[in-house]
Structure 1
Amino acid sequence: MGLFILCFLTTGGALDYLYFDAFTPSGPTLPAATLFSLGAASMITLAAYHGGGSLILGSLGAERPDTQIPEHRELRNIVTEMALASGAAMPQVYVIYDPAPNALATGTNDKNSAICVTTGLLALLDREETQGVVAHEMSHIRNEDILLMTMVSILLGGIAILADLGRRGFYSPRAGQRLGRKTPLLLLPLSLLIGLAPLIGRILSMAVSRQREYLADATAAQYTRNPVGLARALEKIRDAAIPFRGATRGTAHLFFTSPLRRRLENSDSRLAHLLTTHPPINRRIELLYRMAGIMRPPVQNTRNASTRSA
Structure 2
Amino acid sequence: MKAIALTSFGVPEALEELEIPVPPLTDTQVLIEMRASSINPADIQLRSGAILQSPMADKFPAQLPLVLGIDVAGIVKEVGEKVRHFKPRDRVMGMVPMGSYMDYVAVEEDHLVVIPQSLSFEEAGAVPTVALTAWQALFEHGRLQPGERILIHAGAGGVGHAAIQLAKQHGAYVIATARDYNHDFVKGLGADEVFDYTKVDFATKITEPVDIVLDSAMDPSTFGTGLPGDIGDKNYSVIKDAGTYISVVAFAINQYPKVRGIDARFFQARPNRADFEAIVHHIQKNKLNIHIDKTYPFTAQGLFQAYRKSEELPKRGKIVISKNME
Could you tell me the TM-score, scaled by structure 2's length? 0.24
Which structure dedicates a bigger proportion of its chain to strand? 2
Could you tell me the TM-score, scaled by structure 1's length? 0.25
Which structure dedicates a bigger proportion of its chain to helix? 1
Larger radius of gyration: 1
